[in-house]
Amino acid sequence: LARCLQEMGRWAEALPLHQRAAAVWQRTAEPEHPGALTETHNLACCLQKVGQWGEAHILHQKTLAIKERTLGREHPSTLASVNSLADCVQSMGRWDEALLMHQRVVEASKRTLGAEHPATLTAVNNMGMCLRDMG
């Protein structure tokens, strides 16, 4: 239900559902469990959309740290988390920091997936949007 609400742009209604789901995962699974990581990510994105950037930032950092430790720095899922964190700090107006993260994603995606892979192209686009926001 939370994902459906998100797709409809009803982030404030989705937030308590994500909070409840994240709490259940926290009680019942290790933080490294893929389901727990996914729900932490979903909660962070929802918090970001409702303007709670500080809390979102903490959760994005937590998710990224676990993925770097368990999957490696260049795993596609890890790079997706770097992108989410970059998007969060970009929303906070911290463009220089966001740009460094976007550059990391682009470089690693080119190396691991290839320059024409859809994920690489998305990373290039995200970096371009960051540069646009920087002025």
For every residue of 58-125, DSSP letters joined together read: HHHHHHHHHHHHHT-TTSHHHHHHHHHHHHHHHHTT-HHHHHHHHHHHHHHHHHHH-TTSHHHHHHHH
pLDDT in tens, 17-49: 999 999 999 999 998 999 999 999 999 999 999
Q: Which structure tokens are listed for 82?
A: 């770097």
Q: Which structure tokens are listed for 10?
A: 């009803």
CB atoms within 10 A of CB 103: 14
Tell me the HSE value of 53 on the side-chain side, using a 13 A CA sphere.
11
pLDDT in tens, 75-100: 999 999 999 999 999 999 999 999 99
> Does the model's pTM come out above 0.85?
yes
